[in-house]
Each structure stands twice: as structure tokens, then as C-alpha cells.
Structure 1
Amino acid sequence: MNTAHHGQGGHSAGRRRRLLATSIGISALLALGGTVWASGQDTVARAAGERPGQDTVAGSASPKPETAGPAAPALTPSAAGGPAANTVPGPAAVSPAARPDPSPVDRQGKSEQQLAEIPQPTAAPVDLKDKKDLKGGVSATITEVQAVQGEAKGIGEIAGPAVRFKVTVTNSTAQALSLGSAVVDLTFGRDEEPAGPLSGPDTAAFPSSVAPGDTGTGVFVFAVPLEARDNVKIHFNLEAETPVATFAGKVPA
């Protein structure tokens, strides 16, 4: 009986030693596996641009950016590549109507061919209802603008919807003013398409001259489509050396 008991005790001790060895081996393997896993995670983190040991779980690597607020004013880089400068608005741009008119053409000492090559100067537009100074002591106004049914009596004219208006020239100088070379035309639309002149109704040519302190009036009719009357320009050319006056605005439909 003692021999059997001793044999059973020996077998039990052997089993405990084997279980302990197995447990130690499994623990070592787990520790080694954990080390390898951590090393692999650090390698992945480095490949992704993260610091070693940083949490790589999606959504927890870095906090989500807050919702952006209103954009800050843009900075404009300097031309030389220096520090950016704030885009602070400068002085307000001068409106076309406030710009000075171009100088009259100097005709002295120039041949007719030279004068023909000089472009006709054009003044900045004014409103249809404004008075426009043409040169010292001479001005022009547009009045009695109305929609009419244009009459075609001349060659190439086409009757249809039209606009009639008066151009009045005031001579405040001490000398007679010639209107023999004065020209009136009209354009419409964004592309400033030329309008065709018409013979009626009730047109009137300028007088040949205007006495000192007097006025001279001409009545003109131009074909203007009904849908293009929000942007009309009437041009008055008194003479070759004087800037062309432009009256711009909306006309009756």
C-alpha cells in the first residue's frame, strides 16, 4: 500500500511539473506575441506618419477638427514674395462721369491726312437728362425723348419702332457757332449696336449756325427695338476737334 501511494504521488508531482512548464511556456509565447504585435503596430504607425506608440484606432488617433467658422480676410502676397499684406480697400475708383474730358484735337501745323489719322476723342458718358459742356461756352442737352413709330422715306430705311428726341445746343460765347458739321447718332444694347436713322415722324435738321447767346435745335428719329431700350447712348459730335458727347440711359418703350 505504501508503494502504490508513493507511485501515485510521483505521478501527480510529475503532472504538476509538466503543467507548470506548459503554463510558463504559454506565458512566454504570449509575451513574445505581444512584443511582436506592439512592434508591428509601431511600424504601421511610422508608415502612417504617426509617432511610435500612438493609438492607431480609427477615429481616436487625433481629435476631429472643429467646424470651421467664418473665413478670415484673405491676405495678398506682395509682388516680391515678402509678407502678405491685408487687402484693405483703397480709395474709391473715379466714376466715368467724374473723369475729365479728353483734350480737343490740336489742328495747327497738321495736314488733312495727319488729322484724319488722329482718333476722335470721346468724353465720358452723362445721363440722358444732364447738360453736357462741349467746349468753352458751348453745351448740349437731350430733351423730349419719346417712343414713336418710325417712318421710312430714305434709301435703306426700315420703318418700325423708334425713338425721337431733341438735341439743343446753347452758344454762350460772343461768336456765332457753326453746326454745319455736327453729327448725331445712337447705339443700343450691351454691344452698342448702331441704330438706323429714320426720316420721320417730324424730324428737323440743325440750323447752320447759332448766334451768340442763342440756341439751336435738331429733332432726330432712330430705329430702336423695344427690348433694347434700357441701355441707349446718344452721341453728339459737334466738330472734329471737340470730344464727342455721350448721353446714356433708358428711353421710353
Structure 2
Amino acid sequence: MAAGAALCALAISGCAPEPTPGSQNSDPLPSATVPAPNGGSIDETVAPVAPGETLEAKLGDTAELEGGVNVTVSEVEQLDVKAVTPGEIAGPAVALTLTVENDSDESVDLSTAMVSVTGSKDSFGQPTTSEPYSPFLGSVEPGKSISGIYVFRLPAEERDSLQVTVEYVAGAPIALFTGDV
């Protein structure tokens, strides 16, 4: 009976011994409200931005977008990549060299540029940070151009015909490039 009572007491207390003075801290973990990096809160709603007009071009050609921004997929390289970060997968891929030329009168921020790839069987390329990944950073000044490299995992049998979309900022015109690799 005494053993059964002891087991029952352990089950009720959750089998965790009480902390003793000088042992691990029994205080709960500290908690604090941390503000969002750019302000705002979870209670705010961001207004949707309508997608821009889509302008089609062939791989290698230049899409002259409204507002003086010209985008070119200047090179497509087929390669095999190695996994770099957790969750990435090694294997067949394409590396796209994109060039943006700014013919407008104002600086164009490319830090939020969105690039995607669709293969010949309508599967989406998986973005990867494997070499030679080197995305756009910062802005391109008026009269200047900048290049970036985006890498996507894509099965070898789907790399012959690609669709590449480039949207340099939300709501801007979208360049849709198509062609055989």
C-alpha cells in the first residue's frame, strides 16, 4: 500500500520534484512585447496591391516596362547545385542572370524583386541560395544598370522550355519571359 500511495503522489505532482534552494531557477521564462521591425501590428490590414500589366518577351530579349525600367534575362545556365541551407535539395537547376536598366529619372529599389520560374511541365522552380546565387541588392540609379543571379531547382526534363516572371516591386509591370534553354 505504501508503494502505491507513493506512485499516486508522484502521478498527481507530475513526477517533477520541487526545486530546492540553489538548484535551477523556478521562475517562468521572461516575456516582453517586441515591436515589429518596420512598425505596425498584427491588428493592421495591409491594402492589397493589384498586379501590374504583364509584358511578354523571349528569353534573351529586353522587356521595356512602363516607367523606364528595362529587364533582360541575359543568360540561362543549366547546372547541378549543392544544398546550402537547411531544407534545400541538391540536383538539377537553372541559374538566371537578370539585368535591370533604369531609364527613368528616379532611383528604382530592387530589394524586393520577385522572380519565379515555371518548367515545361508547368512545375514551379524551387528557389535556392546555391552558387552562383547573387540577387539584386539595393537600388539602381537613373541611367545605370545592375545584374543579379537567381537559381532555381528544376528537374532536368523540364529545363528545355521555361517561363520566367520578374516583378521588380509589388504592383509594377511584370516581365514574362518564355523560351527554350
Structure 1 and Structure 2 fold alike (TM over 0.5): yes
For residue 159 of structure 1, report the CA deviation from its aligned partner. 0.6
Equivalent position to 1:235, from 152, 165, 177: 165
Q: Which residue of 2 aligns with 1:7?
A: none
- The residue correspondences of 1:63-212 to structure 2 (distance < 5 A) are 113-116=46-49, 118=50, 120-190=51-121, 192-212=122-142
Name the counterpart of 1:224.
154
TM-score, with structure 2 as normaliser: 0.69
Question: Matched residues in 1 for 2:55 and 2:64: separation?
Answer: 11
Structure 2 letter corresponding to 1:197: P
Q: Distance in 1 between matches of 2:179 and 2:164?
A: 9
Structure 2 unmatched ranges of 5 or more: 1-43
Taking only the aligned residue pairs, the percentage that are identical comes to: 32
Structure number with bigger Rg: 1
Matched positions, count = 138
More helix by share: 1
- Whether the 8 Å CA contact 1:159–1:198 is kept in 2: the answer is no
Query: Alpha-carbon deviation of 1:114?
Result: 3.9
- Stretches of 4+ moved more than 2 A in 1? 111-116
- C-alpha distance in structure 1 between counterparts of 2:91 and 2:153, whole Å: 7
Measure, in 2, the Cα distance between the counterparts of 1:203 and 1:153.
11
Q: Which has the higher contact order (CA 8 A, sep 6+)?
A: 2
Task: Look up the SS of the partner of 2:143 in the other structure.
Answer: coil
Give the C-alpha shift of residue 165 in structure 1.
Answer: 1.8
SS in 2 for 1:186: strand
CA distances 1:128-161 after superposition (whole Å, capped 9, x unpaired): 0110012221110011211111121123211101
- Aligned-pair Cα RMSD in Å: 1.9
TM-score of the two chains, using structure 1 as the length reference? 0.51
Q: What is the rounded CA distance, in whole Å, between the counterparts of 1:184 and 1:155 in structure 2?
A: 21
